[in-house]
A and B are shown apart, each in its own frame.
Chain A
């Protein structure tokens, strides 16, 4: 199973962003929330895995 990795990048002005690998769906938001809670992350972006999961959920809902 792919390890879930989080990369926090802090730029030269102290602004930070989060990059996630191996996460699916809501897991992305939970991690971003963890770091944002301490004001450690000012930007976050969702990777392809998040959108793949979201699309699968949408398709499933349309079928029902």
Chain B
């Protein structure tokens, strides 16, 4: 039987998290007051999560994924252990979410501070793709 597990992230901004998931092709639900997660066979995660990817959007997954704020305000990912082990919803997947989140956050900071966007490049490495964002000073 599967069970939910919590995976640590450093993401704190809900807007960038939702944008990152949307960019990855999901249509996440936002539950401002938090909601419980319910997975395969009645498996539940009782701590409230604020961002949910419904199971139907996760091809072949047993359970929806949630992102819930911990006591310090940081989002932690809640993923079914079988989906993590066999469904590809693992640390690598979560790393892609974090990468996309960071890209959005960086673009927002650059815009706020008045830097001029000069381009984006994706560099393939043995560890995975790295995103390079270039800016110039006004």
Contacts and interface: CB of A to CB of B under 8 A. Distances in A.
Given A13-B98, A14-B95, A39-B10, A8 B105 contact: no
Nearest to A19: B132
Interface in A5-47: 5-16, 31, 34-35, 37-41
A28 to B, nearest CB: 11
Contact of A8 (B95, B127, B132): B132
B-side interface size class: 20 to 34
B129 interface: yes
Interface residues of A, number: 22
Interface of A: 3-16, 31, 34-35, 37-41
A9 B132 contact: yes
Nearest to B95: A13
A12 B128 CA distance: 6
Nearest to A11: B130
